[in-house]
Amino acid sequence: MKENIKVLISEEEMDKKIRALGAQISKDYEGRQVHMIGVLKGASFFMCELAKRITVPVSIDFMAVSSYGSSTKSSGIVRIVKDLDEPLMDRDVLVVEDIVDSGRTLNYLQELFRDRGCRTIRFCTLLDKPDRRVVDLDIDYVGFVIPDEFVVGYGMDYDQRYRNLPYIGTMEFTEE
């Protein structure tokens, strides 16, 4: 099978959207510090670009969870692979994701982080695939709503590849 990638969202569109999200977040968190938590590995590219566009004080941490394995279908089980470095007590947490699919990952993190005593918790995702949602979830900041297609690039992978693409692309498989 040959893998073809078609551009879905260009680098320019991405930059523009991230600037807009950064401006909105800066406004909403005026006078506070945003504690950004990126969900590894996918959200790392977006998280860094977004942090650069936020003008209020920012601190960052990362967490790695696994729910996907190397297939393109979610297993439904969320497991902590790498925990946070810092406590969340009284922090204004902004969880940053690359893409929300079933919603299980963010749903799990929401409960976990609430139990750890954060002051507020909000969610920001670059992409949202609402057609695939299986749990109820309020997402505060969404970059782009996309159809139910498997995407790669800008941190997102297919079998650990294509994370480094500077745009978002859809995967197509063709016979060689």
Q: Return the residue of 9, 14, 96, 98 that touches ligand IMP, per CB under 6 A.
A: 98
Q: How many CB atoms lie within 10 A of CB 173?
A: 10
Q: How far is the CB of 167 from ligand IMP (least distance, A)?
A: 14
Could you tell me if 50 and 43 are in contact, meaning their C-beta atoms sit under 8 angstroms apart?
A: no
Kindly determine how many residues on this chain lie close enough to bind ligand IMP according to the rule CB under 6 A.
18
100 binds Mg ion (CB under 5 A): no
Could you tell me if 46 and 132 are in contact, meaning their C-beta atoms sit under 8 angstroms apart?
A: no
Nearer to ligand IMP among residue 68 and residue 167 (C-beta): 68
Q: Return the residue of 9, 21, 54, 101 that touches ligand IMP, per CB under 6 A.
A: 101
List of E strands, the chain: 2-9, 34-40, 58-66, 79-82, 92-100, 120-128, 141-145, 151-152, 168-174
Write each residue from 39 to 68 as x if it is in contact with Mg ion (CB under 5 A), else as -, in one continuous string. x--x--------------------------
97 binds ligand IMP (CB under 6 A): yes
105 binds ligand IMP (CB under 6 A): yes
Interhelix angle 11-28/44-52, rounded to 10 degrees, is 60
CA dist list (Å): 154 to 19, 118, 119, 140: 15, 29, 30, 21
Nearer to ligand IMP among residue 24 and residue 74 (C-beta): 74
* Only segment of 1-9, 49-57, 85-93, 151-159 that touches ligand IMP (CB under 6 A): 151-159
Could you tell me if 94 and 26 are in contact, meaning their C-beta atoms sit under 8 angstroms apart?
A: no
Catalytic residue list contains 98: no
* Only segment of 1-9, 92-100, 106-114, 132-140 that touches Mg ion (CB under 5 A): 92-100
* Alpha carbons 18 and 54: distance in angstroms, whole number: 10
What residues does 6 pair with on adjacent strands? 170
Give the binding site for ligand IMP (CB under 6 A): 39, 42, 67-68, 74, 97-105, 150-152, 156
| Catalytic residue annotation | 101
